[in-house]
Amino acid sequence: MHQETAQERAARAALVVGAGDATGGAIAKRFAREGLVVCATRRSADKLQPLIDEIRRAGGQAHGYASDARKEEDVVKLVDDIERDIGSIEVMVFNIGANVPCSILDETARKYFKIWEMACFSGFLVGREVARRMVTRERGTIIFTGATAALRGSANFAAFAGAKHALRALAQSMARELGPKNIHVAHVVIDGAIDTEFIRENFPDRYALKDSGGILDPAHIADNYWHLHTQPRDAWTHELDLRPWSERW
C-alpha cells in the first residue's frame, strides 16, 4: 500500500483545466470551498486573475496557470509543477469547450482538427499525465465535461460531435482501466443552456427561463462535480446527465 509523503499530507490540489467564467470557475470555487488548493488553467493567465482573487477573498487557496492543453510539453510541465510546488493532484476536471457550429459543406480540415484538439486530444493529454501520478498513490478522481453532442450529432456540429463522442469514449476506456486502481473516472453530459453572459446576450428568450429553473446554474453543476469526487467506491457514477426540466431529450 502506498504511504503518503509529507508533501501529499500537506496539500491536496484540484486541477481545473478550462476554468472559464461560468462552469469552470464555479467548479474551481466549489472545490476551494472544500479545502482543496485550486490550480486553474486557461491559455491566458490574465483572464484567470479575477477567479483567483475571488477564491482567495473567500478564504480559499488558488493558483492560476497559463497553459495550452493541446501541447504535450505544456501539459507535462503543468502537472510536474503542481505536483512539485503545490501538492498531490486529487482531482482533475477537464472543462475545455469547442462548440463551434459550421455546415459540413463549409467546414475546413484545419478547423475540424483544431476542434478535435481542444475537445478531445487535450483531454487525453491531461488525463494521461494526472493518471500517471494518481496510480502511484492509488487514489484520485478524473472528471470530463461532456455535452449533448457526445450522445448525438446535430446538423452543423459535425466537428464538435465527433470530438465529444471521442472524449466520451476516452472516459469510458480510462474508467475501465483505472477503476481497479481506485481512480474514479466520470463523464458529465451537460445538456442545456448555462447561465452565462453569452446566453444572456445572444439568446434572451432562453435566458428568460432562468427564474423558473429553465437553464443550468453553474454553481449547481459544480455541486454535482463535488458529489462525484466524494462518492464511495462501491457506488461510483461513471456518466451523469445534467439538464434543466425544460430541456427536450
Give the CATH number, domain containing residue 70: 3.40.50.720
* pLDDT at residue 111, rounded to an integer: 96
- Determine the average pLDDT of the residues in 214-236: 97
Give the separation between CA 249 and CA 247, rounded to whole angstroms.
6
Spell out the residues 6+ positions from residue 46 whose beta carbon is closer than 8 angstroms to its own: none
- Determine the average pLDDT of the residues in 205-212: 89
* pLDDT at residue 10, rounded to an integer: 57
pLDDT at residue 6 greater than cutoff 50: no
Which phi-psi region, left, alpha or beta, contains residue 171 (left: φ > 0; alpha: ψ -120 to 50)? Answer: alpha
- Determine the average pLDDT of the residues in 81-107: 95
pLDDT at residue 4 greater than cutoff 60: no
The dihedral of CA 21, 46, 70, 180: what is its sign? negative
Which phi-psi region, left, alpha or beta, contains residue 59 (left: φ > 0; alpha: ψ -120 to 50)? Answer: left
pLDDT at residue 9 greater than cutoff 70: no
**pLDDT by residue (tens digit) across 12-56?**
999 999 998 899 999 999 999 999 999 999 988 889 999 999 999
Average pLDDT score over the chain: 93
pLDDT at residue 66 greater than cutoff 80: yes
* pLDDT at residue 81, rounded to an integer: 97
Least confident interval from 67-71, 103-107, 166-170, 207-211? 207-211
* pLDDT at residue 3, rounded to an integer: 52
In a domain, 149, yes or no: yes
Residue range(s) defining the domain that contains residue 131: 7-238
**Grid cell of 241 as nine digits:** 446527465
pLDDT at residue 91 greater than cutoff 90: yes
In a domain, 247, yes or no: no
Instruction: Name residue, grid cell 428568450.
Output: 205
pLDDT at residue 2 greater than cutoff 60: no
How many structural domains is the chain composed of? 1
pLDDT at residue 99 greater than cutoff 90: no
In a domain, 182, yes or no: yes
* pLDDT at residue 1, rounded to an integer: 46
* pLDDT at residue 197, rounded to an integer: 85
In a domain, 59, yes or no: yes
Least confident interval from 67-71, 130-134, 157-161, 199-203? 199-203
**pLDDT by residue (tens digit) across 134-174?**
999 999 999 999 999 999 999 999 999 999 999 999 999 99
Which percentage of the chain shows pLDDT scores above 90?
81
In a domain, 19, yes or no: yes
